[in-house]
A and B are shown apart, each in its own frame.
Chain A
Amino acid sequence: MINPVTSRIWVYRVAFLGLCAIIVFFHLLPMQTIPTQWSAPDLLICLSFCWVVRRPDYLPALSVGIVFLISDMFFLRPPGLMAALAVLGTEFLRARSHFIREFPFLLEWAVVTVVIAGVLLGNRLILLILMVDPPVLGLSLLQFLATSLAYPLTVLFSKYALGISKITPAELNR
Chain B
Amino acid sequence: MAKDRNSGDEYVRPVRRILVGLLIFVLIGLFLLWRIDSPRVERFRANLVDRVMPSFDWALRPVTAATSMFSDFQSYQRIYEQNQELRRELQQMKAWKEAALQLEQKNARLLDLNNVRLDPLLTYVTGVVIADSGSPFRQSVLVNVGKRDGIKDGWATMDGIGIVGRISGVGRNTARVILLTDSNSRIPVAIQPTGQRALLTGDNTAAPPLELLENPELIRPGDRVVSSGDGGVFPAGLLVGQVALGTDGRLRVRLAADYERLEFLRVLRSREHEQIHDPGGLLAPPATTENTTETTEIEAND
Contacts and interface: CB of A to CB of B under 8 A. Distances in A.
26 contacts: A29-B63, A29-B64, A29-B132, A30-B64, A30-B129, A30-B130, A30-B132, A30-B141, A32-B132, A33-B259, A34-B181, A35-B136, A35-B204, A65-B23, A73-B48, A76-B135, A76-B140, A78-B34, A78-B35, A79-B31, A79-B34, A80-B30, A80-B34, A84-B28, A135-B137, A139-B136
Contact of A40 (B45, B68, B136, B138): B136
A29 B141 CA distance: 10
Interface residues of B, number: 49
A65 B29 CA distance: 13
A74 to B, nearest CB: 6
Interface string B80-97: 000000000000000000
Contacts of B34: 78-80
A25 B27 contact: no
A34 B261 CA distance: 9
Given A30-B141, A65-B23, A65-B27, A76 B133 contact: yes
Interface in B53-87: 56, 59-60, 63-64, 67-68
A25 B20 CA distance: 27
Contacts of B67: 29, 31
10 interchain residue pairs of minimum CB distance: A80-B30, A80-B31, A84-B27, A27-B134, A39-B136, A135-B137, A80-B27, A81-B31, A30-B132, A75-B135
B139 A33 contact: yes
Nearest to A68: B27
Nearest to A69: B27
Contacts of A62: 23
A130 interface: yes
Interface in A73-107: 73-81, 83-84, 87-88, 91
A33 B141 contact: yes
Contacts of A139: 136-137, 204
B41 A79 contact: yes
B225 interface: no
A132 B35 contact: yes
A84 B139 contact: no
A35 B139 contact: yes
Contact of B134 (A28, A81, A91, A135): A28
Interface of A: 24-25, 27-36, 38-40, 61-62, 65, 69, 73-81, 83-84, 87-88, 91, 130, 132-133, 135-136, 139, 143
Nearest to B56: A25
Contacts of A136: 137, 183, 204
Interface in B6-38: 19-20, 23-24, 26-31, 34-35
A31 B31 contact: no
Contacts of B68: 31
- Point out which of A25, A75, A84 has the most chain B C-beta atoms below 10 A from its C-beta: A84
A36 B136 contact: yes
A24 to B, nearest CB: 7
B205 interface: yes
Nearest to B262: A33
A130 B52 CA distance: 30
A74 B52 CA distance: 10
A91 B20 contact: yes
A29 B60 contact: yes
A40 to B, nearest CB: 7
A81 B44 CA distance: 16
Nearest to A139: B136
B253 interface: no
Given A33-B139, A76-B45, 6 more contacts: A25-B59, A25-B60, A28-B132, A33-B260, A73-B48, A75-B133
